[in-house]
Structure formats: C-alpha cells, structure tokens
Amino acid sequence: MASVEEIFERYLSSRIFKDREKLLPDYVPEELPHRDEQIRRLATVLAPALVGSRPSNVFIYGLTGTGKTAVTKYVLRKLREKARARVEYVYINCRQNNTSYRVLAELAKYLGVKVPFTGLALGEVMKRVLRGLERKKRMLIVVLDEIDNLVKRNGDDVLYFLSRINEQLEKSRVSLIGITNDLKFMEFLDARVKSSLGEEELVFPPYNAIQLEDILEKRAREAFNEGVLEPGVIKRVAAIAARQNGDCRLALDILLKAADIADREGSPRVTLAHVDKARQEIEKNLTIDVIKTMPLHVKLTLAAVYLLTRRGVKTITTGMIYDTYKDLVTRVGIEPVTQRRISDVINELDMLGLINARVVSMGRYGRTKVISLSASVKSVEEGLSEDLIMKTVLGNTH
DNA sequence: AATCCACAGGAAGTGCTGGGCG
DNA sequence: CGCCCAGCACTTCCTGTGGATT
C-alpha cells in the first residue's frame, strides 16, 4: 500500500497529463469539429434575440454523445456575450429534474423566486414563475435537456405551460430549446405543444469513426503531454465509440479512463491494453452502479433472471421469472408484489439495458415475453452482492 | 376456421411520504 | 391544526392478441 504522500507525489510527477480537465464530460472546447452546420443553424435561429425579438422555439434531436448539449451551450454562451445582458439562458436537465414540479422549481430558482422543493400545487409554482419572469424584463431562453424523461413520466403539462407562456407575459419573452435523444419523442406530445415546440428542428447525426478520431486527436493535444499515447490508441478508442452509435462522450470517457489507469500503474505511456481495460471497467461500473441504486423488488427480479440464466434455462419467460421471484421473496420473508408489477419491472430492466425482453407468441402456449440477460453475468453478480439482503438470498441458492 | 393459452399492457385507484398553506 | 399537493410504488380489474393446436 502506497502512503498518501506517495500517491500525491506520483500524481504530481505524472508525465501523462498536461491538462486532465479537458477530458471531463462538462468541458466545452473552444472548437467543435464537424458541427459547423449545426452551430450555424442554431445561431441563425437564435440571432433575432439580439435585436429583441423572440427567436423561434427549437427542437434538437440526436443520439447520446453527438454534441447536442455542447453545441447548444456554445452558441448560447456566444449569444449572451454579444447581447450584453439583454438575453439570458437557463439550462435545465430533465433527467435530474424529472418531474413537472422539479423543472418549474428549477426555473423559479433561476429567476430568484422562492419555491419549496415539494408541497405546492403546480398551478401555484406556475404563477410564481410568471411573476418572476415579469420582474426580469428579459429575453430568456430555456433549455430543456433530455426532455423525453419529463414527458414520458409526467405528460406534457409543463411544456404546454411554457410553450404558451408568452401570451401571459408583457415585459419578458421566453424561447424554448428542447433536446432529446429519443427520435420518436414527438409522438408523445399534444398536437399544440408539438407545433409550438417544433418551430425549428435540428438533427445531429452521429459521428463516424474518422470524425471521432479527429475530435479525439484535437482534444488529446490539449490534455496530454506529447508522445504519451501509444500509436493506435486514438484509432482504437474511436472505433469502439463508433460502434456505439458514434457516441463522443463515451470516446472521451474511455480515453480518460485509459489514461488514468496508465497513470495509476505508473506507466509512462497509454497503451492499447489500457484502452481495453478502460472499456471493460466503464461497462462494468455502469451496470454495477445502476444495480446498486435499484429498489429491492427490482433487484429481486433481476436476481431471478440471473438465477434462471445460471441454471441454463434456454427460454426464460415472464411467468418463470415471477415464480422464481416469489421463491426468493419468501426466502427473505417479504410479501411478493403482483405479476402485473413485475411485468413493468421487466420493462424497466429492459430499458436500463440489463436484460433483453421481447414479446413472442408461442401459439397454443400463450403469448409472453422472452427474456435474456444482456449485462455480463459477472457485473450483475457483483452489483447484486453489494446488497446485504441479496447476498443472503443468493448465498443459499447454490 | 375456431379455439384458447399466457401473458401484455391500459386505466383507475390506494396508501404512503414529505412537504406545503391559512 | 386540518386539509391539500405531487410523486411513487403498487394493486385491482380489465381488455387484447399471435399463432400452434384442435
């Protein structure tokens, strides 16, 4: 075991990083390669704000890691500089603030209006937001990132409110920018919200391997000392990310992790082996983190799938999972939830990417879902065993 | 061609939490 | 204090259905 001094000392003498910050996910670089088209279009749409006229609402589509958030922040920052305080923007992430109430509360907080984090009626929060806006006397651009999280759970009442808010405002104006990685998102919306929100649409295509390489190359020059990357490292990282729908965030994640691993090992260079290790570790940590934070019955359901898989069952169905689940539950002395609920839980696990579920008709033998584990058996095992109850349940099941 | 399985998944409601407001 | 609010995990009750078997 290295002493604290040794750890710090080694970190300071690291010859790998020049500026590690440049690889962190919230860093927005001064240059966004291969997004000129999107930057130009967004700037064109927002430009009217400079002369005090309300820009059209914008809707931005694109898979994760295609630069949607980065481009939006980039353009808005420039806009605010040029506009000299006449234009402001709020950025609200709807994955963290995933209810109608929380989004409005976040907006209120930005406006300097006091709103408790629970307890009020929605209408009351809307009133306060309105009052806060009038007091501001500004052009405000509201960015709702990962907006699909909001609508799928809560419906579009907040969106409806926001999209018609200008009718109730005299001294201020509001424009909306909605960002989503769900391409079918618009279908969920009320027609009126749809037409209002989709005044302008912007699509962010995924990066291909060559573009990713280019981006990584530029970023690596800022973040690393010269010559620390073994040849082929960037190509490998780009290739992995390109396979994952051209996800640039993932690419930067892997690169950072690989460098961290190399650093920790005291290696003077980042090698291809480090990249592979980083990819595995990221994948594993992701699933373990998800599993750790799941509620008990979801964990038990996943455990049921895990057990059936380990027993070598060929086609796992909803009914089988429910039976195994009930078995596990009674073993810990808890009341089982209904099959209806487990049916939903299975869908949740599917969406989290931990399992793979698809509806299949087996004719005479009914219509059900066929489920398979899609996360690695090992990470599931590890994720579940962090839970004390799960540990005992799985412990005496062989 | 009709049947019927084993669920899917919608709708509505309940009970609880953690907080309002007057 | 009593009543109201949003959100959540869950229940109850329900209708719908693809296709192998009869």
* pLDDT score at A2: 72
Domain boundary at A159, A177, A204, which? Answer: A204
Q: Which helix (H) or strand (E) holds A61?
A: strand A58-62
pTM: 0.85
| Residue A21 is assigned to a structural domain of this protein | no
| Residue A280 is assigned to a structural domain of this protein | yes
| Number of domains forming the structure of chain A | 3
Asked whether residue A313, judged by its CB, lies under 7 Å from any atom of the DNA or RNA strand B, the reply is: no
Distance CA A174, CA A133 (A): 9
Asked whether residue A360, judged by its CB, lies under 7 Å from any atom of the DNA or RNA strand C, the reply is: no
Query: Which tens digit of pLDDT belongs to each residue from A49-71?
Result: 999 899 999 999 999 999 999 99
Residue A13 scores a pLDDT above 80: no
Domain boundary at A245, A273, A289, which? Answer: A289
* pLDDT score at A190: 78
pLDDT over 90 for what percent of chain A? 72
* pLDDT score at A1: 66
Domain match, A212 and A146 both? no
Q: What value does the mean pLDDT take over residues A315-333? A: 94
Q: What value does the mean pLDDT take over residues A331-338? A: 92
Domain match, A52 and A195 both? yes
Tell me the CATH number at A271.
1.10.8.60
Distance CA A48, CA A58 (A): 13
Domain boundary at A170, A204, A238, which? Answer: A204
- Would you give the DSSP letter of residue A207? P
Q: With bands split at pLDDT 50, 70 and 90, how would you rate the model's confidence at A154? A: confident
Asked whether residue A116, judged by its CB, lies under 7 Å from any atom of the DNA or RNA strand C, the reply is: no
* pLDDT score at A396: 63
Q: In this structure, how many other beta carbons lie within 10 angstroms of the beta carbon of residue A339?
A: 14
Domain match, A306 and A260 both? no
Domain match, A241 and A327 both? no
Asked whether residue A28, judged by its CB, lies under 7 Å from any atom of the DNA or RNA strand C, the reply is: no
Residue A159 scores a pLDDT above 60: yes
Query: Please, where are the H alpha helices in chain A?
Result: 4-12, 36-46, 68-83, 100-110, 122-136, 148-154, 157-163, 191-197, 209-223, 233-243, 248-264, 272-292, 296-310, 318-332, 339-351, 377-385, 388-395
Domain match, A69 and A190 both? yes
Q: What domain range is A130 assigned to?
A: 36-204
Which nucleotide lies closest to A98 by the C1' atom and the CA atom? C7
Query: Which tens digit of pLDDT belongs to each residue from A339-356?
Result: 999 999 999 999 999 999
| Residue A50 is assigned to a structural domain of this protein | yes
* pLDDT score at A278: 97
Q: What value does the mean pLDDT take over residues A98-110? A: 93
Q: With bands split at pLDDT 50, 70 and 90, how would you rate the model's confidence at A390? A: confident
Domain match, A79 and A54 both? yes
pLDDT over 70 for what percent of chain A? 98
Distance CA A150, CA A144 (A): 9
